[in-house]
A and B are shown apart, each in its own frame.
Chain A
Amino acid sequence: MNRMLPAAGLVLAFVVFFIYISPTYSGPVTTIQATIAREQLALNAAASFGDKQKTLAEEKNRITPEDIARLETLLPSSVDNVSAILSLTALAARSGVQISSISVPQPTQGAGDVTTPPTEVGSIDMTFSATGSYQAFRTFITGIEHSTRLLDVTNLTVKGSDTGVYGYDMTVRLYWLR
Chain B
Amino acid sequence: MAVPPTVPTSFVPRSGSLSFKNSAFDFGGAFAFLGYGAFVLALLAAGGLFAYNWYLGTVEAAKQADLQKAETSIDTSTVESFIRLNTHLSEGKRLLSGHLIFSKAFDLIASLAPTTVRLTSISILTSDAHTAVLSSTGSAASFNALAVFSDALGRESQIKNAVFSGLGIGKNGEVSFSLTANLDQSLTTFSVSSAADASGSLPSAGATATTSASQTP
Contact = CB atoms under 8 A, between A and B. Distances in A.
Interface in A101-152: 114-116, 119-121, 133-135, 137-139, 141-142, 145-146, 150, 152
B205 A39 contact: no
A160 B213 CA distance: 11
B42 to A, nearest CB: 4
Given A9-B39, A13-B38, A138-B103, A60 B85 contact: yes
B75 to A, nearest CB: 8
B192 interface: no
Given A42-B67, A135-B209, A32 B60 contact: yes
A24 B106 contact: no
B147 interface: no
Interface in A33-53: 33, 35-36, 39-40, 42-43, 46-47, 49-50, 53
A134 B96 CA distance: 27
A177 B103 contact: no
Contacts of A16: 39, 42-43, 45-46
A39 B202 contact: no
B121 A142 contact: no
Given A142-B201, A152-B100, A12 B123 contact: no
Contacts of B92: 71, 74-75, 150
A134 B216 contact: yes
B78 interface: yes
A157 B201 contact: no
Contacts of B129: 115
Interface string A1-39: 011011111101110110011001100110011011001
Contact of B63 (A40, A72, A74, A161): A40
Contact of A138 (B32, B53, B128, B206): B206
B78 A53 contact: yes
B217 A134 contact: yes
Contacts of A33: 56
Nearest to B66: A43
Given A39-B60, A145-B101, A119 B120 contact: no
B89 interface: yes
A88 B217 CA distance: 22
How many of chain A's residues touch chain B, expressed as a range? 35 or more
Contact of B59 (A24, A36, A57, A145): A36
Nearest to B199: A146
A170 B103 CA distance: 14
Nearest to A57: B78
B71 interface: yes
B87 interface: yes
Interface of A: 2-3, 5-10, 12-14, 16-17, 20-21, 24-25, 28-29, 32-33, 35-36, 39-40, 42-43, 46-47, 49-50, 53, 56-57, 60, 68, 71-72, 74-75, 114-116, 119-121, 133-135, 137-139, 141-142, 145-146, 150, 152-161, 166, 175, 177
24 contacts: A3-B31, A7-B31, A10-B35, A10-B38, A12-B39, A16-B42, A20-B49, A24-B53, A29-B49, A29-B52, A36-B56, A46-B70, A74-B92, A74-B96, A116-B94, A139-B206, A142-B202, A152-B99, A154-B125, A156-B124, A159-B120, A160-B120, A160-B217, A177-B87
